[in-house]
Amino acid sequence: MGSRQRPELMSKTVVKSTLVVIASVVIAFLARFAADRGLFPEDYVLPIYAVIVFAGGYIIIRIITGVLDYVAQPTLGTTRTRGLRNTLQLIGGIILVILAFAIFGYNLTGALIGAGFLGIVLGLGAQQVLGNIFAGLSLLVAKPFEIGDRVTLATSAYGLTGSSYSHESQVSGFTGVVVDVGIFFTRLVLDGGSPAVLPNSIVIGAMVVNNSKTTARSVRVRIDLDKAIDFDRFKLKLLEALRGHDSLDSSDVMVEICDVGTSSYQALIEAKAKVELEESGRTIVYREAMKARDELAASETHGSGK
């Protein structure tokens, strides 16, 4: 949304909301006026008050959160602003419920204190809910990731397959883009395209790898070479080829023999790649390694043919 459209949309929302609040106050006044003069049943007044409180309170909360989005987002960022908005909405909802009970003359606080056993049962049942709320607030304070970051969440709460060759350097976890950090849940879009919803209490206890904040990552590649190919020639040729890629740190490349068979041996290549996706760095190394191997194999075949 353009910067010019946002103030206009904000002003229209405030004007409409203000008109609705004024209309609600007028309706409440007319209902009370008619009931006092016997023109309207007294039993209907309190329900009308409750509906007006809910409607007016909802609109006021929307106005406050809208102003918060407009004022705070340029400074706090999308993630923290959305977290503050969710917190205000939760607090506002609780206040509206208390006001609605108060309208009917029902002391909600006294009832909760008096119902000791029920309060204990509800408290135990709400542990997980409250845990998610406090975990969400902790995520906003700690700020391990922002909305839009691509992260990997490694947690023992769900079944995961451990990483192994040929993905030995990858973290075993759920990888995707963060789309929302709510009061209770964190939402991701996984790399496969599936939406995922994780409770905040699980996220706060998980190991978070923020791929969007990674400046350089280690990529490991294994490739099989025929024993007719000289390893030193292969290593020199590969290192020379990798120097031509700006996304790789050519000064930090390791090429070693990691396994030997009857007719072939296996080379292990480890490099530092300045990429967000590990697969991108692995592709570069794989391509250059296969190119060096094929060229050396062709030269060996051509030499033996002579």
Instruction: Kindly state the tokens that stand for 36.
Output: 């006092």
Instruction: Kindly state the tokens that stand for 61.
Output: 């909360």
The more confidently predicted of residues 232 and 247 is 232
Please tell me the predicted confidence (pLDDT) of residue 235: 92
Pairing of strands 217-226, 207-210: unpaired
H-state helical runs in the chain: 5-36, 45-103, 108-114, 116-125, 127-142, 200-204, 231-242, 278-305
- Region 78-90: mean pLDDT is 73
CA 132 to chain centre: 15
Nearest to 224 by CA among 181, 274, 264: 264
- Among 106-110, 241-245, 301-305, name the most confident range: 241-245
- Name the phi and psi angles at 5, rounded to 5: -75, -30
The rounded distance, in Å, linking the Cα atoms of 191 and 198 is: 15
The rounded distance, in Å, linking the Cα atoms of 193 and 175 is: 11
**CATH number for the segment(s) 217-305:** 3.30.70.100
Q: Where are the domains of the chain?
A: 5-114, 144-212, 217-305
144-212 folds as: SH3 type barrels. (2.30.30)
CA 211 to chain centre: 12
Q: What is the pTM of this model?
A: 0.54
Is pLDDT above 50 for 3? no
Instruction: Kindly state the tokens that stand for 238.
Output: 């590969």
Is pLDDT above 60 for 124? no
- Region 160-181: mean pLDDT is 69
The rounded distance, in Å, linking the Cα atoms of 292 and 219 is: 18
Amino acid at 15: V
Is pLDDT above 80 for 301? no
The rounded distance, in Å, linking the Cα atoms of 14 and 91 is: 21
The whole-chain average pLDDT of the chain stands at 76
The more confidently predicted of residues 57 and 191 is 191
The rounded distance, in Å, linking the Cα atoms of 216 and 185 is: 30
Please tell me the predicted confidence (pLDDT) of residue 126: 60
Please tell me the predicted confidence (pLDDT) of residue 231: 93
Count of CB atoms situated within 10 Å of the CB of 27:
15
The continuous run of DSSP H or E covering 39 comes out as: none
Is pLDDT above 80 for 2? no
- pLDDT band with cut points at 50, 70 and 90 for residue 117: very low
Is pLDDT above 80 for 40? no
**Contact indicator for 148, 177 with CB cutoff of 8 Å:** yes
Is pLDDT above 50 for 229? yes
Q: Could you tell me what percent of the chain has a pLDDT over 70?
A: 67
The length of the chain is 306
Label each residue of 278-297 as H, E or C: HHHHHHHHHHHHHHHHHHHH
Please tell me the predicted confidence (pLDDT) of residue 294: 92
**Contact indicator for 255, 269 with CB cutoff of 8 Å:** yes
Please tell me the predicted confidence (pLDDT) of residue 209: 84
- pLDDT band with cut points at 50, 70 and 90 for residue 266: very high
The more confidently predicted of residues 83 and 136 is 136
Task: Give the tens place of pLDDT for each residue, 4-34.
Answer: 455 555 566 566 666 766 776 677 666 666 6
- Region 74-78: mean pLDDT is 69
Q: What residues does 150 pair with on adjacent strands? A: 177
